[in-house]
Structure 1
Amino acid sequence: MLAPLLRDMAAAELPVLAEHDLTMWGYAVLCALDGGPVRTQAALAAAIGADKTRIIRTLDDLQDRGHIERQVDPEDRRVRLLAITAKGQQVKDAAQAEIQRGEERWLGVLSDDERRTFLRVLDLLTRAETE
C-alpha cells in the first residue's frame, strides 16, 4: 500500500534534486550531516542505509563541489571525519524547502486531523524501524 506512494514521492523529488545538482544519495548525505555531529564515513553509511564503499564516490563528488569536508581523525588516521560546509548547507536547505513544498501538496488532500494522525503514525513507524 505504501510502495506506490513512496515511489511516486521519490520520483517527484528527483527533478528537484537535479535542479540543485544533487543525487538522492548526495541529498541523503547532506541531510544526515546537517546539524549533527561530525561522523565517520562508516557511521554515515549506517545512518543513511548505504554500504560504506558505495558512498565513497558520492562523498568525493560532494567534497569536490565544496558541499562537505573530510578530515583525518586525529585519534585514528584511518578514519575520515565528515562535516557539511556552508555551501553544502545552502544547497541542502534550498532542495529541502522545495521538496517540503511538494510534500505539502501531497498532504493538502488531508484534513488537519488526518494530517496530524498521518504524521504521528509515520513518526511511530520511523522510530520503530530504528529501534
Structure 2
Amino acid sequence: MPDAPPSGPDLAALLARLFPRLMALEEPILAAAGVTMWEYAILSELVADTALSQVELSRRTGRDTTRLGKHLIALSERGLLERDRASDGRQRTVRLTGEGRTLQATAKRAIRSAEDGLLAASLSPTEASELRRMLTALGR
C-alpha cells in the first residue's frame, strides 16, 4: 500500500491565495505614487545598487528586455531613473535619481505598513518577523 500523501496545501497553493490579497493592498498605494507594480519592482531593484546593466535588471525582475525597456523609458521620462550607455555604446546602465529613490522609499513605507496590518491580523510580531526572514531565505 502506498504512503499517504503529505497533508496540507502545497506552497504554491498557499502563496496563490496570498498574492491577490497583497496585490489588492499594494495597488492603491502604487497608483497614488504614480507607478505600476512592474515599475515599483524596477525601482526597488535599483535601490541597493549604484547602477545595473539593463540585462542584469531584466534578469533580477524577470521582465523580458523589450518590456523592461518600455518601463525604463517611462520612468526616465518622469525623472525617476537615468539610463547611460557604456563606453562601447552597446550596453546601457540604469540608476535611480534622487526623485526615484524618494518615491520608492515613500511607497515602500506605505506598503510595509499595509503588510504589517495584514500580518498582525493573524500573526504575532515575532511570527511576522520570522515569516519575512524565512521568505527572504527562500527567495535567495
TM-score normalized with structure 1 length: 0.90
Is there any run of 5+ residues in structure 1 with no aligned partner, and where? none
Greater Rg by CA:
2
Aligned runs of 1:101-120 on 2, under 5 Å?
Answer: 101-109=113-121, 110-120=123-133
| 1:78 partner SS | coil
Residue 81 of structure 2 corresponds to residue 65 of structure 1: no
| Native 8 Å contact 2:25 2:115 kept in 1 | no
* Bigger strand fraction: 1
Deviation of 1:7 after TM superposition, in Å, equals 1.7
TM-align CA RMSD: 1.2
Letter in 2 for 1:97: R
- Provide runs of 4+ in structure 1 moved above 4 Å: none
Deviation of 1:59 after TM superposition, in Å, equals 0.4
Aligned runs of 1:10-49 on 2, under 5 Å?
Answer: 10-49=23-62
Give the count of matched residue pairs: 126
Aligned runs of 1:48-59 on 2, under 5 Å?
Answer: 48-59=61-72
TM-score normalized with structure 2 length: 0.84
Among 82, 103, 110, the residue aligned to 1:98:
110
Instruction: Return the alpha-carbon distance in structure 1 between the equivalents of residues 105 and 127 of structure 2.
Output: 27
